[in-house]
Amino acid sequence: MTTEAKPTRERLLDAAATLTYRDGVNVGVEALCKAAGVSKRSLYQLFESKDELLAASLKEGAGAFVTGLLPPADDGRPPRDRIMHVFAQVETQAHAPGFRGCRYLAVQIELKDPRHPASRVARRIKRNLLGFFRAEAVQGGAADPELLARQLILVFDGASARAGIGVDTLKGLLTPTVTTLLDAAGLGGTVRTAAASRR
């Protein structure tokens, strides 16, 4: 479907996703409307403000963010492999043209205000990623699942940010770093059963 054939709302969401990822959240309404090929009036008929448009765009992109990072829920791999999958995806994405890091982290850093609607969306999506790491840590029998999850999100955000600003390619870095964390946490390669969890 060409840009012209897309509904106005979808064009605005696409423009917001593209321009804010490339140029930051301070991109102007005029630039957004020009990229979408719509009038300001059309924007304000669909969204209360640019802030609401940005929040909607982040929410709209959450599915692709998750699909591009997380393994399928029923893929049968052990937790250790499922966690490593995420970081293999980050390394692959870091080499893609135009990669500027994790858009959900960048939005929170740029906006600074945790009450901003876009910041709230971004924070929720990043909490979901933290929750994925925590759940896998529990399933893998990590000694301290909460600590391991926080360590993994720290590596994720740090790696994404450094690759996003072009100071590191991440090559040969993520696998040994994450492996060290998983080993230290006692995360095995098998699923921890409910019975084992109660011991």
The pLDDT tens digits for 141-193 are 999 999 999 999 999 999 999 999 999 999 999 999 999 999 999 997 654 44
- Can you state the percent helix, strand and coil of the chain, rounding each to 5? 65, 0, 35
Contact 182, 80 (CB under 8 A): yes
Domains of the chain: 1-47 (1.10.10.60), 61-197 (1.10.357.10)
Structure tokens at 16: 């917001």
Instruction: Label residues 22-43 b or e (16+ Cβ within 10 Å = b).
Output: eeebebeeeebbebbebeeebb
Select the more confidently predicted residue: 192 or 110: 110
Look at residue 111 and tell me whether its pLDDT is greater than 70: yes
Q: Which residue in this structure is represented by tokens 């909607």? A: 56
8-21 average pLDDT score: 96
Cα torsion angle, 76, 81, 84, 89, sign: negative
- CA dist 5 and 155 (Å) reads 41
Rounded average pLDDT over 80-100: 95
- 41-75 pLDDT per residue, tens: 999 999 999 999 999 999 999 999 999 999 998 89
Residues 6+ apart with CB under 8 A from 22: 98, 100
- The whole-angstrom separation of Cα 78 and Cα 28 is 46
The letter for the amino acid at 2 is T
The pTM for the full model equals: 0.88
pLDDT at 189: 61
Question: Is residue 5 very low, low, confident or very high in pLDDT (cuts 50, 70, 90)?
Answer: low
